[in-house]
Chains A and B, each alone.
Chain A
């Protein structure tokens, strides 16, 4: 089954304790991205990756890191989490970022609800 898998689904952590949220896709997609979802703000892009070893900042990259060493994986790293990073996080992938093409769509994981206390 084609899917984007995030882990963990739920995480409560303390301020300053490094954490990683994993994201894996089995569709051989080139493009992967991380978003955070907050009430009244919709989805805001954190980082995206056009291909292996190619990453770029989105709208809200501060406090986050990413890496793309393999095509299928795109982990999100919080080196020193703070309470303002409490949010619902989504990973997404797409065959490529040519959104005009007929069969291009973004596939989303089920989300990771992170609470930083």
Chain B
């Protein structure tokens, strides 16, 4: 079936470090791809999206590029802040549904 695989967490970084969270998806159909973020005690919020191959989604300094050849949608940020500490979920469309990855816990220390 359609699925999404994220790199295992947790990830712990120092402030201003470079962040990469890997995400790969099963290569069925032509999905749209998303990153959602969940801050402590809250629901998920859309961070960025890309709807076709080679699209780059970006928001709040985060970026991810839809790579059809590697079936990947890795999340990157050049300089993380303490306020970026959260759980990050990669997701893909499956027809009328959204399928989420397992989530990656990110902790950024001062």
Contact string against B for A residues 16-34, beta-carbon threshold 8 Å, 1 for contact and 0 otherwise: 0000000000000001010
Q: Is the CB of A41 within 8 A of B96?
A: no
Q: Is the CB of A42 within 8 A of B100?
A: yes
List of 5 A-B pairs having minimum Cβ-Cβ separation, nearest first: A108-B43, A97-B96, A42-B102, A43-B100, A105-B46
Interface size on A, residues (CB 8 A): 25
26 chain-A/chain-B pairs, Cβ below 8 angstroms: A33-B97, A42-B102, A43-B44, A43-B89, A43-B100, A45-B98, A48-B97, A58-B97, A90-B43, A90-B44, A99-B32, A99-B51, A99-B93, A99-B98, A100-B51, A105-B46, A105-B49, A106-B44, A106-B46, A106-B98, A108-B43, A108-B44, A110-B41, A110-B42, A111-B42, A111-B43
User: Given the complex of chains A and B, what is the CA–CA distance between A116 and B31 in angstroms?
Assistant: 36
Contact string against A for B residues 19-61, beta-carbon threshold 8 Å, 1 for contact and 0 otherwise: 0000000000000101010000111111001010000000000
